[in-house]
Structure 1
Amino acid sequence: MSKICFLVLNTVFNFGHAQGDVTSFFYLLLWIFTLILLLNLFQLNMFWHNTSSLAFIFYILCFLLFNLDVQLTHDPSSSTLFLGESVTFTCNMTAGYDSNWSYVFHRNGQHIVSKSDVSKFLQLDRTTDLSGRYQCSAYHKDSPGFIKQSNNITLSVAANRPTPTVTADRKTISEDRPTELTCSVQDSAGWKYDWFRHIFSEVQIESNVVKNTINIHRGGIYWCRGRRGSPDFLTEPSEMFYIENTLSNQATVALQHDWSQIYSGEAISMSCEIKGGGNSKWEYEWRTTTSKPPSRERTFHIRASVFSSGDFWCRGRADPFSSTEWSQTCHLRVSDKPRPTVRADKRLIPVGGNVTLTCSVDNPTEWKYYWFRHTGNISEVQTVDEGKSENVISISQGGVYYCQGGRGSPVFFTEESHRINIEKRVSNMASVSLRPDWPVIYSGETITVRCEISGGRNNEWVYEWSKPISDTLPTNEYRIVDASESSSGNYRCLGRNKQDLYSSTEWSDITTVTVSEQRPKAQIIADRDSTGGTMTLTCSVKPSSSSSSSWTYYWYRVEIASKPVELKSDTNGELVTSENGLYFCRAGRGRPVYYTESSQSVTVDIPGRCFNELVHRFLRFIQKIILINFFL
């Protein structure tokens, strides 16, 4: 039976070798010998007498022999290798039956190396591109025709040395939150890893480790490198990976002044305060949304403008890789320079009294207040009060007042407030008088209205009038020339001190001027005395309200073929005559003289001296003609 087994073995393997593939016949042989074993079992009695038990054992060995297999492995075990890398192939028989075998290695079906000894290793240096399909064949030394084919291994060789990549679950760590770094070489396996850290100098922290991750508890610059094979093939170094260590200290942005609002033009300072920083020497970092980033100093100064508005953050750095968290956001909002307002409890300071002024600006407690005054007649501005926290002052002088708010160092001033006029009343008294002082003024007359101030000289004052027509100069007299009805009304005045135009008297009492448009007319009353030798004529002015003492009376007698003869003028309004004739009168007053209308004519006819009736009528006719020509 043993002869039959070897005969079959040699035949099958020689055939398989001639075909170039023994493996394809392996399972065919396995089935043949299994069939033989079954036949022996059915005919156990027949074979048991003709063969020994050794034959049965040999069947078992034949069965095991046909289950041997060859396996091709490589180191590194990656399917992708890199130019310059070495690889070692190993051809092994399964189940440890690797003695009395020789091996041949193939690439893409072509022999690479043929060895007659028992060496099962093949080492190749990847100095060139040896990508392809690799396989090995095992030859039994006692039966050269007995060949086993290994599995196939396909390799690809990349031209460039690989660069690993470092990743982390986060880039910042803290005392209680470390991070894990991972080093990865893309599309390849079989690597061991070297880890490096740089803080102030480069330090190798791990070398030739299989695990590609490490836990990090310190900040720094980390990178890795892969190695595999023998001799070691090294990857390129990975890119630097920065790990930031977050300290427990807290950073805060602090303004120099705790002001609720910042204004354009104001000088401000920002500081980065580190809580629990001790005496550590911190380096400060700032971040802002404004266009101009701040410096790296702890405190920086800016001149605020609308472009300074934005958000600011800071943090402290103890070393290049250890820093605090960024501070809370500090919102800086810059507004236009404010303008305060001034209020007064009253606008007029009474004699011996005062007025309270209040300066108002947003957030009043943040400011100090400056008060100014000028009197209007000089350009110099007087400082009334400055640098006080109280925004209220009491004043006893008139003038134009305004205020400003100021704060900081150097002092930042608000805009000037609006001006407010405060009048002061002095004890001097003003009064209005008329020259002449007539109760009724007639249209066309000229009068003078005068302002008189007690206890002072006229040249000390500037005068102000309140009257129907606002056309007066600041003098103490107002002359009404050619009065008309529009001149009627109430007149009053006050005086302002020339040295302080906001100090004035009270307004005077009202003086009323009445102008009549109707020209008054004179009238004559004739009175003959008891003897009959003379006649008394009395001239008066209508209306009777006109003061008779203010008038001068003018008398006229009409003579034939001549103008009326002015007889006399006086203020008593009486004329005593013994001459017959035609008489009339008129009154006048003021300078220039204002005349009334002429009175009606009166005939004086004393017995023994009268003309006949014809003469008298003729004289009346002539009088009328002369009067008409005289007054035209």
Structure 2
Amino acid sequence: MSVFFLSVSLRPKFPQVYVGDDVTLICNHKGGSKPTKWLINGKVQPHEDYSMLLIAVTPENNGIYECEQAGSKSDPYPLTVLELEPLAQLSPSVGGAVMTKGDGRNLVLQADDDLKDWACFVLKGVSTFSLGLDVDEKMNRAVIFAELKEAERATFWCKKKDKDLRSNAVTLKMTELMVMLVPPAVPALQGEPVALRCVVWGGPKLEQAVFYKDKTKIKTTSEGTYTITSATQTDNGKYSCHATYRYSHISAEAAQKQGDSDAQELKVIGGPPAAVISASNNSLRCSCPHCPASCTSYHWYHTLFNDPYTRRKLTENDGFITVEDEGLYSCRRDCRKGFSRFSNDYSYAGTHAL
């Protein structure tokens, strides 16, 4: 059988794969054939499905991917993960990575330029669909409505029309259970805090939440949140929770109920290098000690105190700026194929910083 009918393809069809992306590799054979044998850098993998999901990829996933079906072998597919961030940011307006069946939520797109030139998509299984994008030009933001319908998981992203520029990807997962373990909708970064929430559908009074990692009890709390203060690779694993709750807002005598969540995977990654702001009064300096040499200019941003989605790119593009307007300031380095992580927010309140 001709090898030309067998190929490895990437979903979503990203021109560049960035650290933290969820991607699926598909062994695409006309008519299909199982089992599928996968090889990474020539080494046979235990995975036998025709599609291979890679969660929160890092440069450790770099390599040559091949697949075999019915004695036929694909051409090699090179996967390269850039340790940078894409141009635009997509993030949930509320909530984390898990939704109940039939639920939906808004994802907010922020980019440096005119959002009318952007389009958004969703990957469900191996199929990609276009989504409507509601642009608010005055506020320099756009919103898409994310819903899973019957899909167990879906990946959402946006790209600039006719260009290879895109946003990060957000993966949402569906649960049919009353109790949900909800990790953040963005990748967990090494050294950063990570909050895992135990949530019950319908918002009852949570009396107790018991958290588990890889089926071992790690914490009992009435707060409903398990916080990892500084995430490391040792925090990788499958987390779940057991909730005790009452719908006392419906009835004062509501019966006590209990339930378990699905297990959710947490993967902590190093992430791209981060920019850093240092300040002297209203003079700000942006640096990025661990950025690659390909990083050239600087991008500066101003955000209003009362609205995190009003971020506006400033015209300055060197390492120093002088600020006059109140608000939050951040910066990042432009590294050609991508960007450094945003710096910490620097809070400026007129004559004095907070």
TM-score by length of 2: 0.32
Higher relative contact order (CA 8 A, sep 6+): 2
Q: Which has the larger radius of gyration?
A: 1
TM-score by length of 1: 0.19
